[in-house]
Structure 1
């Protein structure tokens, strides 16, 4: 399968959107990747799954009180998901994307 260039931003509102068009916005951090349609679809599914863990209100409150255990668990799941996203972006990323992620230390040294 042929790879195409796509752009990803991790803005919580539009995190699950992978676009073939670069957005020229100085306030937005975009990562450029090269992916097959299958790789793109897999990454979109991962982005959607992680975004769904971002502050699930049902896990934060019970009828009695604020549930810190569930909040901590949800936060941990979200962080693990973000780690998976950054690893996928690094794996599919262009040389420039890999350099950016290395500069800000967002990749596991094992990659």
Structure 2
């Protein structure tokens, strides 16, 4: 399968956004990657899985967010999923993306799980 250039947006409100065009917004956290359609599908699933463990509106109404065991476990699953997202972006990333991620102070790429 041929690879295409994509841009992955990792903002809290639009974490699942993967586009084929660069968005010129200095406030946007955007990574350029080169991937096949199958790799994009896999990355999209990782993004959705990570978001599933982020604080959900339903949790606010169920009061589960007051349960420390639940929130700690959910937070750990979210961080694990987010680390997988970052690793995949790094693997698929352009040289510029890899350099950008290498320069991050607390890169999840260097943390063991």
TM-score (norm 1): 0.88
Superposition CA RMSD, Å: 2.0
**Does 2:79 match 1:79?**
yes
Aligned match of 2:110: 108
Aligned match of 2:59: 58
* Count, aligned residues: 108
Q: CA deviation at 1:61?
A: 2.1
The SS at the match of 2:33 is strand
Structure 1 stretches of at least 4 aligned residues deviating more than 6 Å after TM superposition: none
**Does 2:1 match 1:26?**
no
Distance 1:3 1:91, change over 3 A: same
* Distance across 2 between alignment mates of 1:33 and 1:39: 10
The SS at the match of 2:5 is strand
* Unmatched runs of 5 consecutive residues or more in structure 1: none
Q: CA deviation at 1:108?
A: 2.9
* Distance across 1 between alignment mates of 2:85 and 2:46: 7
* Distance across 2 between alignment mates of 1:90 and 1:108: 12
* Unmatched runs of 5 consecutive residues or more in structure 2: none
1:87–1:108 Cα contact (<8 Å) kept:
no
Aligned match of 1:3: 3
The SS at the match of 1:22 is coil
